[in-house]
Amino acid sequence: MTVPAGALAQAIRQPERQARLARLIRQPTTDVVALDRVDATNVGRLLAASRTIDVVDAHVVICARRARQQVVTSDPADLQALDPELRLVTVGGSSVGPGDGIV
């Protein structure tokens, strides 16, 4: 499982409601991905091409494409605007946390 670091930061804003997420990110099979130089460049290009502005959402898309994974999200509309072909699993608003991006 891949978790972009920015998406983790958004989701963990209410840690008392995120016990399952906290357990997930401690698993050896979970990879928390930083926004490095290469990903930042790809995120900027994706934002320019899609004429959108959410860096975290764009990083989620970049990570999902690279890992060929589906995305678990509570807010699919912004991700679909970035990549209509992205495979999404939509969950209730607080199941994953505010924001989106568990890849």
Report the share of the chain in percent with pLDDT over 90. 73
Give the separation between CA 18 and CA 64, rounded to whole angstroms.
22
| Domains of the chain and any CATH numbers | 2-102 (3.40.50)
Q: 63-83: per-residue pLDDT in tens?
A: 999 999 999 998 899 999 999
Tens digits of per-residue pLDDT, 22-73? 899 999 999 999 999 999 999 999 999 999 999 999 999 999 999 999 999 9
Yes or no: say if 14 and 42 are a contact pair by the CB < 8 Å rule: no
The mean pLDDT value of the chain amounts to: 90
Nearest to 63 by CA among 35, 91, 41: 35
Q: What is the pTM of this model?
A: 0.85
Quote the pLDDT of residue 103. 62
pLDDT at 94: 47
